């Protein structure tokens, strides 16, 4: 069945014609988590772009910040903004063992470019978690800040969005990168 002019449904997988790319495909040291659609920021009809999820969680539970409660200006929620949010968090929080920092330091092959997903990017991972695999029924941190003390998470057992304290040590982390 053709949807629009660019996506074909094959079983439960949306495949982009002539590329063989689909959500759930192992690709560039991870798994394709989302393929940009018309209307998404960064969508280009002639060239597929999207998100790749790391093949496993980078942490089973970690704080969002390094202990420095401050506004990091990582407020963006949209697709394509997680990388900038992550850079803003690290500029504010510097070194340490916290969600954004472990995403950028992950070593998965040679591709690099891993970051903590924005709220909308993390929601794409939640929606496609069965195809991506390896998620727990737990809260996952996004790179989207709510206040100086709180940041956004998604409960992967229900899809519930919640603003949690940045010092809460139990948020899981799954790094993403773009292709």
pLDDT tens-digit profile of 115-166? 999 999 999 999 999 999 999 999 999 999 999 999 999 999 999 999 999 9
DSSP letter for 16, please: E
User: Would you say residue 4 has pLDDT above 60?
Assistant: no
- Structure confidence at residue 112 as a pLDDT band (50, 70, 90): confident
Task: Give Cβ neighbours of residue 177 (< 8 Å, ≥ 6 apart).
Answer: 28, 30, 51, 52, 111, 112, 113, 114, 115
**What is the radius of gyration, based on Cα positions, of the chain?**
16
Q: Are residues 99 and 168 in the same domain?
A: yes
Which residue, 14, 35, 52, sits at the end of a domain? 52
Distance separating alpha carbons of residues 69 and 10, to the nearest angstrom: 47
Question: In this structure, are residues 52 and 28 in contact, taking their beta carbons and an 8 Å threshold?
Answer: yes
Mean pLDDT of the chain: 89
Q: Are residues 80 and 128 in the same domain?
A: yes
Q: Are residues 25 and 80 in the same domain?
A: no
- pTM assigned to the model: 0.88
Q: Are residues 172 and 125 in the same domain?
A: yes
Write out the residue range of the structural domain in which residue 43 sits: 2-52
Which residue, 36, 52, 68, sits at the end of a domain? 52
Distance separating alpha carbons of residues 35 and 43, to the nearest angstrom: 9
Question: In this structure, are residues 73 and 81 in contact, taking their beta carbons and an 8 Å threshold?
Answer: no
Domain count, the chain: 2
Q: Are residues 103 and 134 in the same domain?
A: yes
Distances (CA, A) of 28 to 71, 156, 178: 33, 24, 10
Distance separating alpha carbons of residues 72 and 63, to the nearest angstrom: 15
Which residue, 15, 34, 52, sits at the end of a domain? 52
Q: Are residues 76 and 142 in the same domain?
A: yes
Q: Are residues 16 and 85 in the same domain?
A: no
Comparing 45 with 120, which gets the higher pLDDT? 120
Q: Are residues 101 and 167 in the same domain?
A: yes
Q: Are residues 72 and 153 in the same domain?
A: yes
Q: Are residues 46 and 64 in the same domain?
A: no
- CA nearest to 41, candidates 50, 32, 31: 50
Q: Are residues 46 and 84 in the same domain?
A: no
Q: Are residues 93 and 148 in the same domain?
A: yes
Strands 176-178 and 50-53: antiparallel
Task: Give Cβ neighbours of residue 42 (< 8 Å, ≥ 6 apart).
Answer: 36, 49, 79, 80
């Amino acid at each position: 069945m053709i949807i629009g002019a660019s996506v074909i449904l094959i079983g439960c997988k949306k495949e982009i014609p002539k590329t063989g790319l689909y959500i759930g495909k192992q690709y560039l040291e991870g798994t394709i988590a989302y393929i940009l659609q018309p209307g998404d920021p960064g969508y280009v009809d002639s060239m597929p772009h999207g998100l790749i999820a790391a093949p496993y969680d980078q942490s089973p539970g970690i704080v969002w910040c390094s202990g420095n409660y401050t506004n990091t200006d990582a407020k963006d929620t949209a697709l394509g903004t997680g990388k900038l949010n992550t850079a803003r968090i690290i500029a504010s929080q510097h070194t340490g063992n916290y969600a954004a920092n472990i995403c950028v330091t992950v070593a998965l092959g040679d591709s690099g470019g891993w970051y903590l997903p924005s709220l909308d990017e993390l929601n794409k991972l939640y929606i496609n978690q069965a195809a991506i695999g390896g998620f727990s029924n737990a809260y996952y941190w996004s790179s989207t800040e709510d206040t100086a003390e709180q940041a956004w998470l998604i409960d992967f057992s229900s899809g519930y969005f919640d603003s949690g304290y940045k010092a809460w040590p139990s948020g899981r982390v799954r790094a993403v990168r773009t292709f």
